[in-house]
Amino acid sequence: MKTMLITRFGTAVAVGVCWLVAGHLRAADHESNLHKTFTASPGGKLVVEADRGSIEVTAKSEETVDIQVFRKVTRATAAKAQEVFAAHEVTFQQEGNQVFVRAKYNKDWSGWRLWGPNLQVRYEITVPKQFNVDLKTAGGGITVSDLTGDARAQTAGGSIKLGAIDGQVWAHTAGGNIHVASATKAVEVETAGGGIQIGQAGGSVTAETAGGSITITKARDQIRAKTAGGGIHIEDAGAAVKAETAGGNITIKKAVGKVAAHTAAGGIEVGEAASAIDASTSGGSITATIIGPLTEDCRLETAAGNVTLIVPDNLSANLDARTAGGHVTTELPVTVQGEQKQSSLQGKLGAGGNLLKLRTSGGSIYLKKR
């Protein structure tokens, strides 16, 4: 009896395998591509609203918007593939100097399937060199070449890569990296999981990620950078800087305005700040240089590490430096107020002025002159 059951089970498995193989032999990949061209003059706008697929936009000298939609259905019979293509509705429309591309699936479709048909879509579009773009896809990467105009890009899952944009940039993704080569106006980018890299911006920069590093080369206006897990590196800020991370180092090479830098676990380095600094970390050293007079109160505080502050030798401020596990040393003359101790130093630098507060719970404090 036992032998008979094993034999029957083996036969059933063999039949099942044969059925799967036969199904795969009948299934194949099928393509149904679309192509549309519109005449458009510089200064117009391209709007793409796609239910899926990657989008690539390239700027060329021609005064046309050329749209190619590459569609492929995998693991399907010819009849099933045609059914999928028919349900995937792609429309092209022009209103004045604006071109619209919209795509949606008109049946209940769960997207990628292990055994069933899978619809893959890719958009390749060329526009005039001076053109605005507003691109949105529910799943796929977005790439835009060098362009004169504003660029908006949004995807529910994929990376965003923008070239040199002569205009404003707005880019959001629910999961992927964001790279902006440059922009002549403001830049606002956000990702729920990935790194952010921005070249030069002619306006302000706002960059936020839930998990990844942030690198900004240069911004003419203020910078706001925030990450829940990663380092922040800023080369040159033309105004105030606010940098915050829950876990990573913060490096700011140069800032014209006030610097606010906070990390829960990492070191902080400010190479050159023109005015006040507010920096704190729960685990790491702080090194900073102030090149001008204090325009407001200044604070450098760490729970575990050294604090090193370099200032002009003619700086005027009220100094309050204290450490719980080290010593305080200064290269600048201080008019001491009260009793001077090895672990604390309070007094006036120059004529006094705004508060210069230095704190560490587990390290030493060094006040040096430039």
Q: Is 216 contained in some domain?
A: no
pLDDT at site 25: 42
Tell me if 122 sits within 8 A of 141, measured CB to CB.
no
222 in a domain, yes or no? no
pLDDT surpassing 80 at residue 128: yes
pLDDT of residue 320: 97
The pLDDT of residue 338 is 72
- Band the pLDDT of 340: cuts 50, 70, 90: confident
The predicted structure's pLDDT at residue 26: 55
pLDDT, tens digit, for every residue of 42-81? 999 999 999 999 999 999 999 999 999 999 999 899 999 9
Give me the residues paired with residue 367 across strands: 309, 330
* Phi, psi angle pair for 80, to nearest 5°: -70, -40
Residues facing residue 167 across a β-bridge: none
With bands split at pLDDT 50, 70 and 90, how would you rate the model's confidence at 218? very high
Average pLDDT over residues 5-24: 42
Exposure on the CB side of residue 132, measured as CA atoms within 13 A: 14
> For residue 205, what is the enclosing H or E element?
strand 205-209
Quote the domain boundaries for residue 310.
268-370
pLDDT at 157: 93
Q: What pLDDT is stored for residue 337 in this prediction? A: 73
Q: Is residue 328 part of a domain?
A: yes
- Residue 15: pLDDT band (50, 70, 90) is very low
Going by pLDDT thresholds of 50, 70 and 90, the confidence category of residue 138 is very high
In a domain, 55, yes or no: yes
Domain membership flag for residue 340: yes
Contact 241, 269 (CB under 8 A): no
pLDDT of residue 257: 93
CB 252 within 8 A of CB 243: yes
Judge whether 10 lies within some domain.
no
Q: How far apart are CA 196 and CA 216, in angstroms?
A: 8
Mean pLDDT of 350-358: 97
Structure tokens belonging to residue 280: 């704190």
Which ranges of the chain does DSSP label H, i.e. alpha helix? Answer: 2-26, 78-87
Tokens of 346: 């309070």
Distance CA 195, CA 342 (A): 43
End position of a domain, from candidates 127, 156, 180: 127
Pairing of strands 142-144, 54-60: parallel
Structural domain ending residue among the three candidates 70, 97, 127: 127
The answer to whether position 175 is within a domain reads: no
Q: Is 100 helix (H, G, I), strand (E, B) or coil?
A: strand
The per-residue b/e assignment along 237-276, b for 16 or more CB within 10 angstroms, e otherwise, is bbbbbbbbbbbbbbbbebbbbbbbbbbbebbbbbbbbbbb
For the stretch 257-279, pLDDT in tens is 999 999 999 999 999 999 899 99
Q: Show which of 62, 94, 127 is a domain's final residue.
A: 127
pLDDT reading at 21 higher than 80: no
Amino acid in position 309: L
Q: How many domains does the chain divide into?
A: 2
Q: Are 166 and 148 in contact (CB under 8 A)?
A: yes
For the chain, the average pLDDT equals: 91
Residue 115 domain flag = yes
Residue 9 pLDDT grade (very low, low, confident, very high; cuts 50, 70, 90): very low
Q: Is 174 exposed, middle or buried (0-12, 13-18, 19+ CB in 10 A)?
A: middle
pLDDT in tens, 229-250: 999 999 999 999 999 999 999 9
